[in-house]
Structure 1
């Protein structure tokens, strides 16, 4: 029996005070990241020469042997893929009442994810794995970005987009058989982004794990904050397919 998708304005709603807070935190963290970035000094050739792979913890040492500009570029593509999934989820709602809700939520998700992770990066000033790799040019190692390893921006953004898209799809299509495909496909893309950042020599394992966890939390929390509160009630409806008939019983969400 086909199940009609939920109307977006029956599932989510915007609230001025909440949006002001979310946009405010996102903007404030973005400004904080710019301020913190001014205090970040690039590594000197002498400091780079003093770095040794043996100084790294065992779990991080393997990352110091990685370096691949190709993997770096591919990670951009997989990240764009997760954003594309979010776009495909939002596309069918563009003709509905309240069509601006999902774009607003996604913008808040992006602002929070980027503002906070960039602030942490500029404060932590952790050296990227490729700085320990003698095969990488000194000109690359002496850039400011060489000290922005913790935590992974690509990974946090990819998981934020993936979980956001999957959560919204699940809310709008609670009975859809495509939910496992949306969740699985978007999370595979996000995981691929993290693995490629490792192969590129850009991040240590901890950078990727924290980025994935942080992005996932933001991607789940923002839709939940906008979800209308409600309860589930029993729905009973007859059905027939020409060969058999019966009663279709299920619990459906009732929002207010």
Structure 2
């Protein structure tokens, strides 16, 4: 009985040593206030978007593609409903990427903490988007298309091209995943491929948003940068501060214990 108890305690000790410490620190009060804040900003932004004015008849009658910035002018008049709907597929894939951490035993142990940070990253990107889309008046490329009725072209929904919320949410999600992976596995040889994947998925979303006539190229670029910044900065802001004192489990031939190391 005594041997069984010793074996059980030894196995329990080994399992506890296998727990990988999170590189992040979260706080109930601070993170709760942050999430509440971005939620409130998003709610306000959505109200502003809903009450946004339609394009005035005077401005509509004076529409001219030549007035569009030359960098964006080439896509003025794009209107592809199929491409617009297709953009939802890479968006969904992007938003699902962080959930892959539940498949890894090291990150799965900290699923609750990572979930909070993920909500903060995407929430921050969307907060910037909703307020900007609500306050900035910029028509979508599709309003230059003669295929649509005047009523649709003038609608308030088509007056919020700046910037792309789809791309912002997608890049916030994928860059968040890439940053978290890099922080948990700083020496991984897979990091270049992880970051490449994080960059490609939102770009695919952006391609279809432009092709669909939802946004100009500049709108996609800004959304991409806002989302990427949110996805990268939130994990970095939660990083634990470096300390000279390091305590780690040690397992060797015939012994197990805790190692203490202090760097001067």
What is the TM-score with the length of structure 2 in the denominator? 0.78
**Displacement after TM superposition at 1:174 (Å):** 1.6
How has the CA–CA distance of structure 1 residues 94 and 57 changed in structure 2, closer, same or farther, with 3 Å as cutoff? Answer: same
**Displacement after TM superposition at 1:46 (Å):** 5.5
**Displacement after TM superposition at 1:95 (Å):** 7.9
* Partner Cα distance (1:135, 1:45) in 2: 18
2:212 to 192, 200, 203: 200
**Displacement after TM superposition at 1:43 (Å):** 2.3
Residue number in structure 2 paired with 1:76 = 88
Task: Note the alpha carbon deviations across 1:98-154, whole angstroms, 9 max, x for none.
Answer: 330111111111221112211110100211111112223334323321011111101
* Partner Cα distance (2:105, 2:138) in 1: 42
Helix, strand or coil for the counterpart of 2:87?
Answer: helix
Residue number in structure 1 paired with 2:7 = none
Helix, strand or coil for the counterpart of 1:12?
Answer: coil
**Displacement after TM superposition at 1:79 (Å):** 1.0
Stretch deviating more after TM superposition (17-26 or 214-223): 17-26
* Partner Cα distance (1:182, 1:207) in 2: 25
Does 2:117 correspond to 1:105? yes
Residue number in structure 2 paired with 1:189 = 201
* Partner Cα distance (2:209, 2:31) in 1: 32
* Partner Cα distance (2:77, 2:111) in 1: 47
**Displacement after TM superposition at 1:90 (Å):** 4.2
Residue number in structure 2 paired with 1:150 = 162
* Partner Cα distance (1:111, 1:63) in 2: 29
Number of residues of Structure 1 aligned to a counterpart in Structure 2? 230
* Partner Cα distance (1:85, 1:39) in 2: 34
Helix, strand or coil for the counterpart of 2:188?
Answer: coil
How has the CA–CA distance of structure 1 residues 93 and 133 changed in structure 2, closer, same or farther, with 3 Å as cutoff? Answer: farther
How has the CA–CA distance of structure 1 residues 29 and 99 changed in structure 2, closer, same or farther, with 3 Å as cutoff? Answer: same
Helix, strand or coil for the counterpart of 1:10?
Answer: coil
Matches within 5 A, 1:1-256: 9-44=21-56, 47-93=59-105, 96-230=108-242
Larger Rg: 2
Task: Note the alpha carbon deviations across 1:176-218, whole angstroms, 9 max, x for none.
Answer: 2222222112211111111111111111122111111111110
Task: Note the alpha carbon deviations across 1:230-250, whole angstroms, 9 max, x for none.
Answer: 2699xxxxxxxxxxxxxxxxx
Flag structure 2 segments of 5+ consecutive residues without an equivalent.
Answer: 1-17, 246-261
* Partner Cα distance (2:49, 2:77) in 1: 27
CA RMSD of aligned residues (A): 2.5
* Partner Cα distance (1:156, 1:93) in 2: 29
What is the TM-score with the length of structure 1 in the denominator? 0.81
**Displacement after TM superposition at 1:68 (Å):** 1.1
How has the CA–CA distance of structure 1 residues 65 and 35 changed in structure 2, closer, same or farther, with 3 Å as cutoff? Answer: closer
**Displacement after TM superposition at 1:94 (Å):** 8.3
